[in-house]
Chain A
């Protein structure tokens, strides 16, 4: 292969495990299912953003004459008990779901990542205290904690985001802390220290790039979880209060009308389920694209 007295060695190409954006994107593209999911999500986002132009009716507009109607030409998906158009409410409901789903994950990372990184880097007493707090908060079943917080805070979009942030940072913090702890032990961090790199340098040069993948995947997979939580809370009457439309809330409100007007339940239920499915598939696709070596 090479002559032993020649220092210039011929390069043996290895499979590229690169982190540049184009390569990630091309890997993602090969996953057909994830691409379909992405397409659907983009469609929904557009629907949410352009809701005022797309929705046939104002979602708050009541028309008692049309109440309880099944799908008709005037109301494609029917009307609810107050005569509001179901299709319009579903379109506007997307705004709520996406706002909560995406924003909650952003907040959770903003809070959780620094906490996890700092506590992992610094260790010692700070680490101990933070870990105790995390243990306590994670002993209470997740939804229960949300419920308690929402009872105390009252219904509403802002309160829900607040409650999710208070409880959700734990997952990211734990994840980042674990990553930091293992990265701290690597030889390349040791080498960086040997060069005279201080903690700040190591954080920005090495930690951020090496922890970003799990964090991004966690965010992508966290969106459907957050949507589920919002839907569940709204279903119980603790989340988004009427008249603002939310898919979960609609399912909860119309539960009693099961026998008489099942269409009021089916449409938001199906939309919610399909949206969560799409995000889950997207999250899996993102994970596989970012690091093809990780297999579930």
Chain B
């Protein structure tokens, strides 16, 4: 079994928080709770969940834009979380990110040319003349007009800005691309274009994606496997088709049932959850889903379930799924 390109092992990220009249209590916000997953070369892993479930934080922690509180991140077998100095800088080339708000991810004072060149400048790649040619090449493969280079990000539409972000991410020839809700901020018609672009680029350059989104339909379209997160915990992970058609974890079942089905003849049972998502600061004990879970029993309050492989390649964190 070949080593997966990207693998996390019990990755944890928590933040300190202060509350109380005299600010005495020091609580911790557990954003990512011992997440272990893997992505094989060339595949796309989708991460879904509601707002605040930690999927974006997971992406940022894997990138070490937040420092992991504990746990490991293996890239081609090497623990990325342990690296420092020039080794860290060099390894960063393999792992790039696409951000949710296309405009915010581009420095408004730099031209498109400078934006795309920046990674090359940092790593000293190519001669300056070659860099200019590289910029043109990247503009072309992301579908941007050739004269974009001298313009500023504010002169482009949202979809084009995201293309600029993609071009920049590809400048270092990365192996892995973490896409953090790359189309959530775009109009629906533009979304389709960007998604198709991402798929084309993936097949052309053998890229590996982690695709983070709250939109399950889009994620299923893009990914071979899907992971589901709730309050920082990876509750289920498995092949896209199965996650969507036969989800095993009660939360995933509720989530899938909430996705609108266009065909009126197909009847589905709607599973609703009671209550709201609790605040991540006030996390429930045991299994974080137990207050809202339809099949919860007594020990769910106490014991946090481990991942169990209930079908080949399909893991679920539940005592009673």
Complex Cα gap A187–B108 (Å):
11
Contact yes or no, B92 A195, CB < 8 A = yes
The answer, yes or no, to whether A19 is at the interface (CB within 8 Å) is yes
Min C-beta distance of A204 to chain B, whole Å: 11
Complex contacts, B168 vs chain A, CB 8 Å:
191
Interface of B toward A, CB cutoff 8 Å = 60, 63, 65, 88-90, 92-93, 95-97, 99-101, 104-110, 118-119, 121-123, 143, 145, 152, 154-157, 159-160, 165, 168, 172, 189, 192-193, 196-197, 200
Complex contacts, A186 vs chain B, CB 8 Å:
104
The answer, yes or no, to whether A243 is at the interface (CB within 8 Å) is no
Contact yes or no, A8 B107, CB < 8 A = no
- Nearest to B101 among chain A residues (CB) is A187
Contact A210-B109, Cβ < 8 Å, known A9-B160, A195-B96 = yes
Contact yes or no, B156 A191, CB < 8 A = no
Complex contacts, A192 vs chain B, CB 8 Å:
118, 122
Contact yes or no, A210 B143, CB < 8 A = no
**Partner of A9 from B88, B122, B193, B196 at Cβ < 8 Å:** B193
Contact A9-B159, Cβ < 8 Å, known A195-B119, A196-B89 = yes
Interface of A toward B, CB cutoff 8 Å = 2, 4, 7-9, 11-19, 186-188, 190-198, 201, 205-206, 209-210
Complex contacts, B197 vs chain A, CB 8 Å:
7
- Nearest to B142 among chain A residues (CB) is A7
Complex contacts, B160 vs chain A, CB 8 Å:
9, 11
Complex contacts, A188 vs chain B, CB 8 Å:
104-107
Contact yes or no, B154 A14, CB < 8 A = yes
Complex contacts, A4 vs chain B, CB 8 Å:
189, 192-193
- A interface: dominant SS: loop
**Partner of A17 from B119, B121, B152 at Cβ < 8 Å:** B152
Complex contacts, A18 vs chain B, CB 8 Å:
152
Complex contacts, B200 vs chain A, CB 8 Å:
7
Contact yes or no, B152 A193, CB < 8 A = no
**Partner of B63 from A8, A13, A17, A194 at Cβ < 8 Å:** A194
Complex Cα gap A17–B110 (Å):
12
Contact yes or no, B157 A12, CB < 8 A = yes
Complex contacts, A15 vs chain B, CB 8 Å:
154
- Nearest to A1 among chain B residues (CB) is B189
Complex Cα gap A271–B234 (Å):
72
Complex contacts, B105 vs chain A, CB 8 Å:
187-188, 190-191
